[in-house]
Each structure stands twice: as structure tokens, then as C-alpha cells.
Structure 1
Amino acid sequence: MKSASEIKQIVIVGGGTAGWMSALILADTLAQSTAMQGVGITLLESPVVGTIGVGEGSTHALKRFFDTLRIAESEWMPACHATYKCGITFDGWSTRPGFTSYFHQFSTMVDNLTQPVFMNNVHSRLRGVDAPGWPNDYFLSAHLVRNKLAPVTPEHFPFTVNYGFHFDATLLARFLRKKALERGVRHRQCHIVASNLDARGDIASVRSQEGEEFAADLFIDCSGFTGLLIDKALKTPFHSYANDLANDAAVAMPTPHDGEIAPHTVSTALKHGWAWQIPLTTRYGNGYVYSKAYCSADQAEYELRERLGLLESDVPARHLAMKVGRVEQHWNRNCVAIGLSQGFLEPLEATALFLTQTAAAIFAAILTAGDYGERARQAYNREVNGYFDGHRDYIVAHYKTNSRPDTAYWRDRARDPGAVSDSLRQVFDTWLGGRDLAAEITRQGLDKYYPIGSWYALLAGMGVFPPPTPAQANPAYQQQAREMQEFLRRCTLNFRNHMEVLREYDRAAGEQARAA
């Protein structure tokens, strides 16, 4: 295998969001490295393989991606029909009184003032005190959603707010392609069908359906679930999450909206899985993630259509298969898998783009540092596997804490002991034992994947508490919660209406297009 300094040509196989995001991250990072300038990046995109693109949500890491590339939200959001996202509302996952819905927030600096009060009340409630422990009352992001406000902070508001986005995945890939080409990435439309290995077992070249060969020193596999390079060529072992996460299929379809939308994704528990609702500026993206072991594709589509009021509609539904798990080596020989080719978690916490972005950014940093040996590959694979496994555990925690008794699907999710890793079991034991969960999360390093506030929001939001003891009721807790709500209400006065901000972006984009 060549050293980093010997890499002169990188070929990315596959377009879509993963391919073009990887191309942009590599192009931007390598351009800032004196040693790696002049490295060519070519993306090979199949004209016959489309993107999955059913509407997407992101974590707040996507903002960092665009900020790093110096691309303004007012530019890319209108092009991708994008809206803001302050977090995720979970409806119907719990049946515990007072906790049938909760909000998983993106963090803000304001949380430094409100989260300690929330955590103190949670610990009191774990001891049996009747203290208010519903997370929605304590986080600015939840109040922004409640009032349909954009999370963009004005100059006079001295606290930062983390937020993500919703967007049309097909349009986002198209926008990223445009930006990558502007930054020197070469693009070829061709359908890759085979790989050629050299005597050492590295990939020497890939071949198109038309017989054209593309040689490179380094290959990035963004070919989706097909895994043309990482799987088909290099036979990299796959680590399935099927024993941890039962969902393996989805059905999706759009619906219109009235234009006034709250900046959040909604995840609603259904009979055999959960439904998403993602607001774009032009429509809602809707889908149902389910397990084929509990219902058929036709049954899932019927349930989703019934929920959306589309039983008599001819709106087409898209059926998707999901391969849940990860490869054991994301970087194998001279090939790095990024996107669906490296692995997939069900989209409950919008992790797909985050994992793509993270994997590409970590690898780009390693490449520019010049460390391209076996030790670097092992360290990279450990780190990326850690991200996948850490996010898997957080998603599993949603199912283990559900209290729905209505179907075998939900009952099985709650009682299946095989779905709980040792790490997650320690988290549950710490919580149920009333011990310091923040210290346990920090001890395990889990805050690298989800912050402490997220774990508290999940477990408290699901109502995982012992029954409160009325004799221990203390009005001071209620008063403190009311003070937090009033404080957050006044914070929201600094923010503008969500759709007003987006319409302003649209007008500016239109004016710019006319001027051009």
C-alpha cells in the first residue's frame, strides 16, 4: 500500500449525498494541506442508480459542514427546500401518564442555566419525590418548536443555539455536486460494474459497463448498500445489528402542508414500528419504519395511508429495504467505505448524514497528517465503529424503555435482553439505581456520541421513574419549573417565525437568480 505522500489520484465510486459530501470534505481539507495539494479527486456517478432520497433530517453537525465550507444557509436551504430542525418529538412511545410525548432537544447555551434544574428534579423524582421531570419544560429548543420559531439567533441574543435541518435529499446531492465541481472535483457519469485487484490485494482500478477503466491510488466506496468495493471486491465482513434493531424496511410518501410548520421532526409509534414526519418548505415527507417479521409491506403501507388519510389516494408509495449494521473495517486496504456502503442505522435519530460526515472528516484529517499505515487504519476503524455502536445503543434505548402493551412488536422490543449491550445495561442500572448518570456517561465516554442532556431527555421523557410518593410532594419544585418556563418564554421573544425566515431566504435566492 502506498504512503499518503504517494497518493496522487482519488476515485469516489457513487454520487448521492454521501459521495458528494465526501468529495467536498476531501477537496476542502486537501486544499489546505501543502503536502496534499495537486491530488486529483474524480467522482464516478452511475446514470442508472438513483439516490434513496425520500426527504431527510440531520443533526446539528450539518451546520458545521456548511459553515466549514463557507456556504450560507440563505444559499443552500432554498435550493434544497430545507427547513430548520430543533430536535425530534417522540409521540406515543410511552404510555406512562404525563409522558406520552416528549422532545429530544438540540443543545443551546441557555441549557447551561436550565439543564441543572431539570437534572436535579429528575434525580429527586428517581428518589420518589413528586418533582416535575418532563424535559420539554426545561429546554429552549422545545419552546422554539412550540412557538414555530426559527433557531437563528439575532445579534442581540448572546447565546448560541445548535440546530439541524430538514431537506430534500435529491436536491441536496445536486447542490453538493455543483459546489464540488466548483472546487475542482472531476465528475464522470458511468456505471461501475467491476474492480481489478493488484498482486497485493489492493484495488488497482474499477471498470465501467462501457469497458472504461479508472485507476487510482485510493478509492472511496459510496455505492450504497451494494458495496461495490468494500463488499464485492474486498469481501469485508459485515457486522449485523439485526439482533439489536428489528426494523428492516420502510415505506414513504409525501403530503402537502399549509405552509406554517414547526422546526422539528415527529416520530410517532405505530403498531409495528414508527412513522416519521419531516417538514420541507414544499411538503411533508412521511414514512413508516417497520419490521417485516411483524407485518407485510402491504400492511405497513395500509397503516401509513390510513394515518395520513390517503386510503383512497393515488399518491404512490416508495418501499425501501434496510440493511442495518456496519462493516467491520470501514478502511480496508486502499478503500474507505462512506455512507450506506459502510453501514446503516435505522433513521430514528437522523444519524446517517452525521456518520457520513464524521467518517469522511476523520479520514481526511488522517490523510493530511500523512499517517497512512496499518496503525492508522486500525485506529480509524475503532473510532468509526465506536460511533456506529454508540449511536446504536442510544437508538436501542428508545425501544427498551417503551411501555406500549398493544402489539407483540412493542412487547418484544421491551423485554428482549439480547438487545442490550453491557454499556447500555450499565446506563440503565445507574439510572434505575438513582446514581449519578452524568458521571456514568462521562466514565464510559458516551457523551462523545450523545451529550448527557440527551440521555436525561430520553429516559425522563419516556417516564422511566418509580411512582411518585405524594407525601414527599414539595411545592418548591413546581415553582422552580414555572420559573424555568417563564424564563424560556422570554428567551423566545428574541426569535422570528420559522416560515418568515425561510420565505426571506427564498426571496433573496430569487433576486440573486434574476440578477445572474
Structure 2
Amino acid sequence: MGKSQKPKTLLIVGGGTSGWMAATLMASRWPDINVRLLESDNIGTVGVGEGSTPHLKIFFDTLGIAESEWMPRCNATYKNGIYFSNWSSVPGFERYFHPFPAQTDDLTMPMFFKHIQARRLGRSETPHPDQYFLESYLTRNNLGPIAAECFPFNVAYGYHFDAALLGKFLAAKAEFLGVERIEGNVAQVQLNEMGEISRLRLDDSRTVQADFFIDCTGFKSLLLQDALQVPFTSYRDNLFNDAAVVLPTDAALEITPATDSTALSNGWAWRIPLRNRCGNGYVYSSAHLSADQAETELRQHLGLQDAEVSARHLQMKVGVVQQHWRHNCVAVGLAQGFIEPLEATALALTFNTIMQFIKRFEDGDFSGRYQDDFNREIGAKFSGIRDYIVCHYKVNQRTDTAYWRDNAANNALSESLQAVLHLWRHSDNFAADMRKYNLEGSYQAKSWACLLAGYGLFPALDAKASAAPDNGRGELTELAEFIRRCGLNFTNHNQLLAAHGVT
């Protein structure tokens, strides 16, 4: 599709959250293009994480959909960030919170960086990240992220949600926007003489034609990877986890506005609080643990008896395609790649891919003029998130299983991740040098510092430096009081859900 010509028909192949996100965004942006979506009733959603970053709010804001409309229908709750438990064996650092951004960070973050810098020099400071950020305070006190109108600072937040219900909600929205849903199973992808996709043949002999195709067929990637033969690069050398086991439990009476990520023997377990249940799962390495062993360990972790609830086992294809856009096809969601759900980045990558494609497609007058730029940009997003996820495993100090020892010993690190770790050990100003060397991409210096400080990655205390007068205690007291008073503007999470109709 090298010439400048707006497509008359655009076909999204595959539903689920990614497919219907693409449908709603493209139909709302291009009302003069016939947007259609082909999906099979026999294929369910993967629905592993059921959590998001703040990108999901941006998605709904882009479409003008209010929380009071979609959250009750998807049993959704608010998410201030993620707790990480048992990832570190350093005393005092067994648990930390990774918060989303807030405008108050501009007032509190300088003190955080000041104190971690002093601790990195061997001084006896207080470097744990949890006491430096409003979002951490809100979560400890079970407060939602939406403040009273008189509070002049915004707090970013994500959501927990039922993935299947979200897909259905978006499908209804897309169809209201004029998207035509076609039910069927793809039997063959047919190419033209230029190597582009021309039509799909379904298993009932129907054919479906389009000018442009969006591949949302999940890990199978029937269009981009299978038909167009775009190579897939595995992340197996530095992300060992390739399987998950999933078990729901009853909803908690007090719903916390955070995801819990707890390190287990050969991976980690998530806990995602929805309005009607808790989503639980264990992401693990099949090279280190069998499926039966993983299920048994998850049940023990949750305190479940064997017969109480059935488990669902999943395989994960972790890695990324070498081209996200080839010829007249763009892959979105699992079809383009997957980084394990540790930081709930799947929907953020989906949203970024769709919006960047829309921009680049329009900039090129609906041609492939900016295809290479788009592929570099989305590839960089995947690489940046992968580095941050890999860092969680690389810097662990657990020695109780071969899994954790193997992760700590893994040296298959990108140059950018090696640079971040070098700055943490040697920089005189970590935040400034992260910007100086262009290492702030998918994650800002705040997030990197929360991770590394949250693990307690500091040198031994220096005897002379530790003996110096502690000038930070007073300012920490003032900081705690500032954050507490900010917190007075926020509402209990359960009450906030009720106020927004999520009952």
C-alpha cells in the first residue's frame, strides 16, 4: 500500500479488548472508513492481568466515556499502583509500592532523590520509597485517587476490571459507532501479487475483503506472523516466565486500590481486587516448575483447598515481532508481542500502538510512508518496558531456589539497562543523569528509583558517614505532615466506588 489513498474498508481480525479498542478508536477517528471486525464466538479472551496503567483512563477520556458508564458494567475498581512483596531479602525492604505519577511528585520527589543519594554514599538515611509519595499514602489508607475539587493537584491512576466484560462493553460502543461485527473463523489468508493481504477465507467458505487489516488474533498472529511471515523475537533469554495458572477468589469487603505482586518460589502471584471477586494468578517459568506444582503452590498461597475452585492454565509467548506494520497490516495486542503482566503494560502498549498508527497513517496520507518510523517507535516502547521488567528479576537477592539464582546471574541485559544499573551504583545525581543519557523512555527516573531503592540496593553503611548528624529527620516529619494533609482531600476507596455507581 505505497500510494496515498485512504482505505474504503478496514478489517480488524479478532475481538477481545485489543480488537474492540482498535475498533472504537478507529471508527471514532475515521467515520468515513468502513470499519469491520471479524471474531469467532469460539475464542475467548486471555484475560490474564485485568489491570491497567493510567493509559486506560486516557483511552476512555479520548472517547468521552465516563467512569460512571463503564466501571459498573465491568466490575471495575481504582488502582493507585502496585505492591511488590518478597522480591527482596534485604531487612526493611521486603515490600515496597510502585506508585503512578501525581502532580505532588514535583514537591516530594526532590527529597526522595536527596535521601537515596545520601544512602548510596553510605549515610544512614531513610531511602525506602513508600513515605515520599502521596499515592503511597493513599493506598496505605485505602483512599481512592480522585480528590475533592478544591485540591489543585491531579493524581494519575489505572483500573482493575473484568477483561471479558470490558470487551463486551467496547463491542457495544463500537457497534454504536457503526462498526460491523462479522462472526466467523479464519481458514486462509490470501495475498495478492504484491504480497499484501487481499481477502480472508472463512471456514464456512465465505470470503471477507478489505483494503487494510488489523491483526488482533492473539498469540497465533494469523495475519502478521503467519501469513506475512514477520519474524518474532523471543525474550526467553532474559524473561524466563512463560506460563500462568489462574484462580478467582471471593471479593474482599474492603477493596484496596492496588494490585499485589508477591514473589513465590519460581515466579510471582498477582492479586487484583474487582468489585465482584479477586483475580489471582501465578506467573512462573515452566523450565523451573511444573503446572501441577504451580497450581499447588498458588492454592497454598491463597489458602484454598484443592476442590474449592477450578484453575485455568495458560501458556505465554513472551517477545515481540520485528515489524509491527508490514504491507497493509498492523498487529495490535498479543499478535504484536507480549511482555509478562508484572507491570500491567499490555493495554498501554495496545493503546500506544493504535494511537501511533493512526497518527503515522494520517501523516503519510494513508500510505506506508512512515511505516519504518512507526516500527522503530513501537519497538522502542517494547524494549523500554522489557528492560524495566527484566530489572525486577536481575536485582533480586533471593537465593532460596534455582529460579531466583538464575535470574540474578542472568547477564543477557540490554545496553540501556546496563547503563541504568551503572548510574544507580556510580552517579552523583541519578535523576539528572537518567535524563542526560536519554534513559527515561517507557519509565521515568522516579519509577526506576522506586524499584531499586524498594529492593534496598544500597552499599554497606559507611561508619564515618553514618556517624554524621542526621539533618533529614525534621524534613521527613514535615514531608509526612504535608502528605497527610493532602490525603484529607481524598475519599475511602469503597465509598468512591459507590459514589461513581460501582456498587
Q: TM-score, normalised by structure 1?
A: 0.95
What is the correspondence of 1:430-469 to structure 2 with a 5 Å cutoff? Answer: 430-469=423-462
Distance 2:332 2:313 in 1: 23
1:11 maps onto 2:11 in alignment: yes
Counterpart code for 1:229? L
For 1:514, the equivalent position in structure 2 comes to none
For 2:190, the equivalent position in structure 1 comes to 196
* 2:7–2:366 contact (8 Å) kept in structure 1: no
Q: Secondary structure at the match of 1:448?
A: coil
What is the correspondence of 1:408-427 to structure 2 with a 5 Å cutoff? Answer: 408-418=402-412, 420-427=413-420
Distance 1:151 1:231 in 2: 40
Q: TM-score, normalised by structure 2?
A: 0.97
Instruction: Point out the structure with the larger helix share.
Output: 1
- After alignment, is 254-263 or 213-222 more displaced? 254-263
**Structure 2 counterpart of 1:275, from 269, 272, 280:** 269
1:478 maps onto 2:473 in alignment: yes
Structure 1 residues 18-54: Cα deviation after superposition (integer angstroms, max 9, x where no partner): 00001111122224xxxxxx11100001111111124
**Structure 2 counterpart of 1:144, from 138, 149, 169:** 138
* 2:53–2:345 contact (8 Å) kept in structure 1: yes
**Structure 1 counterpart of 2:490, from 489, 495, 502:** 495
* 1:247–1:291 contact (8 Å) kept in structure 2: yes
Distance 1:258 1:341 in 2: 34
The Cα shift of 1:483 comes to 1.8
* 2:252–2:278 contact (8 Å) kept in structure 1: no
For 1:71, the equivalent position in structure 2 comes to 65
What is the correspondence of 1:105-184 to structure 2 with a 5 Å cutoff? Answer: 105-184=99-178
Distance 1:424 1:371 in 2: 37
Q: Secondary structure at the match of 1:403?
A: coil
Distance 2:178 2:197 in 1: 24
For 2:302, the equivalent position in structure 1 comes to 308
* 1:302–1:311 contact (8 Å) kept in structure 2: no
Q: Secondary structure at the match of 2:144?
A: coil
The Cα shift of 1:464 comes to 0.7
Distance 1:278 1:178 in 2: 25
Structure 1 residues 469-495: Cα deviation after superposition (integer angstroms, max 9, x where no partner): 354243221222222112111111110
Distance 1:247 1:381 in 2: 26
* 2:250–2:278 contact (8 Å) kept in structure 1: yes
For 1:513, the equivalent position in structure 2 comes to none
Distance 2:243 2:409 in 1: 22
The Cα shift of 1:5 comes to 2.5
Counterpart code for 2:21? M
CA 1:387/1:54 → structure 2, altered by over 3 Å: closer, same or farther? closer
* 2:198–2:211 contact (8 Å) kept in structure 1: yes
Distance 2:97 2:328 in 1: 42
* 1:277–1:287 contact (8 Å) kept in structure 2: yes
Counterpart code for 1:23? A
Distance 1:257 1:222 in 2: 31
For 2:250, the equivalent position in structure 1 comes to 256
The Cα shift of 1:373 comes to 4.7
Counterpart code for 2:29? T
Distance 2:4 2:110 in 1: 46
CA 1:278/1:289 → structure 2, altered by over 3 Å: closer, same or farther? same
CA 1:486/1:119 → structure 2, altered by over 3 Å: closer, same or farther? same
For 2:353, the equivalent position in structure 1 comes to 359
The Cα shift of 1:263 comes to 0.4
Structure 1 residues 71-96: Cα deviation after superposition (integer angstroms, max 9, x where no partner): 01111111100000000010000011
Distance 1:9 1:138 in 2: 51
For 1:291, the equivalent position in structure 2 comes to 285
CA 1:55/1:240 → structure 2, altered by over 3 Å: closer, same or farther? closer
- After alignment, is 266-275 or 206-215 more displaced? 206-215
**Structure 2 counterpart of 1:90, from 81, 84, 89:** 84
Q: Secondary structure at the match of 1:276?
A: strand
CA 1:470/1:492 → structure 2, altered by over 3 Å: closer, same or farther? farther
Distance 1:257 1:361 in 2: 35
Distance 1:336 1:14 in 2: 13
Structure 1 residues 416-436: Cα deviation after superposition (integer angstroms, max 9, x where no partner): 112x11111111111101332
For 1:338, the equivalent position in structure 2 comes to 332
Question: Considering only aligned residues, what root-mean-square deviation do their CA atoms show, in Å?
Answer: 1.4
For 1:35, the equivalent position in structure 2 comes to none
Counterpart code for 2:500? Y
Q: Secondary structure at the match of 1:496?
A: strand
Distance 2:433 2:23 in 1: 38
The Cα shift of 1:153 comes to 1.9
* 1:29–1:368 contact (8 Å) kept in structure 2: no
Q: Secondary structure at the match of 1:58?
A: coil
* 2:36–2:180 contact (8 Å) kept in structure 1: yes
CA 1:199/1:437 → structure 2, altered by over 3 Å: closer, same or farther? same
CA 1:416/1:54 → structure 2, altered by over 3 Å: closer, same or farther? closer
CA 1:313/1:470 → structure 2, altered by over 3 Å: closer, same or farther? farther
Distance 1:504 1:93 in 2: 36
Unmatched segments (≥5 aa) in structure 2: none
For 1:186, the equivalent position in structure 2 comes to 180
* 1:230–1:335 contact (8 Å) kept in structure 2: yes
The Cα shift of 1:223 comes to 0.4
Distance 1:25 1:435 in 2: 44
* 2:82–2:97 contact (8 Å) kept in structure 1: yes
- After alignment, is 483-492 or 393-402 more displaced? 483-492
Counterpart code for 1:276? W
* 2:361–2:370 contact (8 Å) kept in structure 1: no
The Cα shift of 1:192 comes to 1.4
* 1:10–1:217 contact (8 Å) kept in structure 2: yes
Unmatched segments (≥5 aa) in structure 1: 32-37, 510-516
Counterpart code for 1:134? H
* 2:223–2:329 contact (8 Å) kept in structure 1: yes
Q: Secondary structure at the match of 1:200?
A: coil
Distance 2:401 2:48 in 1: 28
* 2:427–2:433 contact (8 Å) kept in structure 1: no
The Cα shift of 1:308 comes to 0.6
1:59 maps onto 2:85 in alignment: no
Counterpart code for 2:161? F
Counterpart code for 1:123? Q
* 1:305–1:311 contact (8 Å) kept in structure 2: yes
For 1:224, the equivalent position in structure 2 comes to 218
Distance 2:189 2:73 in 1: 35
